[in-house]
Amino acid sequence: MEPKKPDKKGNPKPAPPSSRGIPSDESMWLPRHYGKEVKEKGGLEEEIIWNMEDIADFIFPKAYQPRYFMVAVDFLSLLLASEKVTKDEIGKFLKEKNYSRSTLENKVIPKLVHFGLIKREREIEGALGKGRSLILSDSLTFTAYLRKIGDAWKSQVATARHKRKKEEKLKTLEDFP
């Protein structure tokens, strides 16, 4: 008769983690507002205009995603130079810049659309009855989205400050009969 083996220590059926974190295609990099990254862009003063590289750095951080960053900056510059960008113009852009179609179409464009910097549409009717071609144009959804978050926080802070002042006044009035 063999001796009984001791039971293994630990949880025999561990539950998998609920999340592996925020997916990179849904994340935006926000360095410290007082850090060197923001200072190098000119700080948070409204009078200082950030260029395309400064803006793209929040979506595709140059330090962490240098290739996506370069593709995004060049593509956004192309997009803003014209009213819209079609499949043909994308092909010329990729050939001229020697960028991977896969990188642009599978990583950069989806994230820019997801964040609201660009708008993706299709032609009403396809040429020769074939599929409808892609049309990309600029979008201000990104601006509205971030402004809404900022305005909501500003309202929360203003309301909380107002309530504290009001409570302070009432307390002061209660102290004096």
Domain 24-139, what fold? Arc Repressor Mutant, subunit A (1.10.10)
Q: Which is nearest to 26 in space by CA: 152, 116, 119, 160?
A: 116
Calculate ∠ Cα 160-165-168, nearest 5°. Answer: 125
For the segment 117-129, what is each residue's pLDDT rounded down to a tens digit?
999 998 776 555 6
CB 114 within 8 A of CB 26: yes
Verdict on whether the full-model pTM lies above 0.85: no
pLDDT digits (tens, 9 = 90+) for 122-166: 877 655 566 678 899 999 999 999 999 999 999 999 999 999 998
